[in-house]
Amino acid sequence: MKRLAARSVLVAAIAALTAGIAPGPAGAIVPQPIMPNLTPPPAPLPAEEKHRCFSGGVEPVGDSPSVPYPQAMLDFASVWPFTTGAGQKVAVIDTGVSPHPRLRMLAGGGDLVGGGDGLQDCQGHGTLVAGLIGAAPARGSGFAGGAPDAEILSIRQTSDYHRPQGRSEGDHAETSASDEGGYGYLTDLARAIRTAADAGATVINISVVTCSRGGIGPDDAYIGSALDYAVNVRDVVVVAAAGNVGSGCEAQNPIDLPTDPTVSPWDSVSLASTPGWHDDLVLTVGSIDQNGRPSDFSLAGPWVDVAAPGSRVTSLSQKSDRMAVADGTSFAAPLVSATAALVRSYRPELNARQVMERITRTAHSGAEDRGLKIGYGVVDPLAAVTSELPFEGASVEEPDSVAVAAPQAPPVADPRPRTVALTAAGILVVLFGLGIAASFPLGRRLRARPASRRGR
């Protein structure tokens, strides 16, 4: 996420310099500026049941000893010798979570729909999400959650089995966070985020999405403020689904990055998605299929950070003797939430932003830049937990202060030895010169004397 922020600053600088030459498209939609401490109001209307809760909504399947492809692809089992997520509390803001034998550490965190404890799931959506995060292994089953020793805190915020009181079928508030026209206001989603943060969640999973053309609307300001509170005040990692085209999100955004480096990918966004588009505050997750390709339904956008399997995903059903299978970025997000719980358990010294950065930096992608459907790539739980990354813990330490004594003045040299030496040398030179001078007359005298004559 920080890499995109730096890239965005660079793009903005280039765009400013070239504004008079090639202005970008007008009317780009972006989230509203964050307003800290913007407390959401109560929901405008209470909920009423429109269908009897019969624990349906997902496709039931039988269990199997084979490991489902999402768990095999991400290889959570390779992380469990290091950590299983113990000590982490993952809040699931969803349709509720039904009690299940394999959710050993499930707690109710509240119900903004029916006023209960959050442990009723009419649709099966929230239970499936929770299973992908924290389901315990079981004999004869190849399925387990990515962080099986993490605690699950369920907060029910949305329900397709309910509607605002007094509303007719199909008539729901524009601010609803429910895909299917049920019950779930954005103000309630903001309240749920704050509730989870105050309840001690270390990770929050949000697999409910609101999409809208041209922006979300004024209530999205409450979402931004709640996310800011969770991340920057309460130090919580927030993970959100990107959204599904055709299921709540009516059309696809452009899937290719602009070829012009001075053009921001935000300029071509037509469909906003919250909470995922609050990019600096959440890890937004796209979906891939079993072949590693981006899922057709996965909503693209410059806010997508990473991807995980979301096509034909198997997890727990509300019925304890069955499993369920479903498609959607809703089920890719909890695999990333499990990864975040594992990282936080193994590396408790990291803050929320460092955890999010670690997950994006260790993701795998064939592309050099951030893609609009899978972000920086597919998450790698083992690498996220165990890799030693150079950007972490790199601090400049103050050098130790050591008192250094002032250098002493060198001692004044005694001139006497030098004087004596020079004097002696001078005397020797004089004597040597006199000896040479005296030798010249003697030599001359010896050469002038006549040779002696023999035989005389």
The reported pLDDT for the residue numbered 180 is 53
Identify the CA nearest to 43 among candidates 154, 179, 182, 183: 183
Dihedral of CA 381/383/387/391: which sign? negative
| pLDDT per position as a tens digit, 113-129 | 988 999 999 999 999 99
| pLDDT per position as a tens digit, 373-432 | 999 999 999 999 999 998 776 544 444 444 444 444 445 455 555 544 444 555 444 444
Query: Of 100, 125, 172, 278, which residue is the catalytic one?
Result: 125
Helix segments in 67-199, DSSP class H = 69-74, 125-134, 186-198
For the question of residue 94 being annotated catalytic, the response is yes
Q: Residue 287 is encoded by which pair of tokens?
A: 């979906």
- The answer to whether the CB of 202 falls within 8 A of the CB of 341 is yes
Average pLDDT, rounded, for the chain: 82
Q: How far is Cα 71 from Cα 334, in angstroms, rounded to an integer?
A: 12
Q: Residue 413 is encoded by which pair of tokens?
A: 């040299």
Query: To which H or E segment does residue 221 belong?
Result: helix 220-228
- The answer to whether the CB of 431 falls within 8 A of the CB of 437 is no
- The answer to whether the CB of 285 falls within 8 A of the CB of 298 is no
For the question of residue 162 being annotated catalytic, the response is no
The reported pLDDT for the residue numbered 354 is 97
Phi then psi for residue 313, to 5 deg, are: -95, 135
- The answer to whether the CB of 238 falls within 8 A of the CB of 300 is no
Q: How far is Cα 5 from Cα 302, in angstroms, rounded to an integer?
A: 11
pLDDT tops 80 at residue 19:
no
Amino acid (one-letter) located at 381: P
Class of domain 2-10+45-386: alpha beta
Among 22-26, 271-275, 288-292, name the one with the lowest average pLDDT: 22-26
For the question of residue 111 being annotated catalytic, the response is no
Residue 130: band (very low, low, confident or very high) from pLDDT cuts 50, 70, 90? very high
Query: Of 176, 225, 317, 330, which residue is the catalytic one?
Result: 330
The residue extents of the domains of the chain are: 2-10+45-386
pTM of the model: 0.79
- The answer to whether the CB of 337 falls within 8 A of the CB of 354 is no
The reported pLDDT for the residue numbered 394 is 52
Residue 252: band (very low, low, confident or very high) from pLDDT cuts 50, 70, 90? very high
For 294, the 3-state DSSP assignment is strand
CA distances from 418 to 325, 413, 421, 430 (A): 102, 10, 5, 18
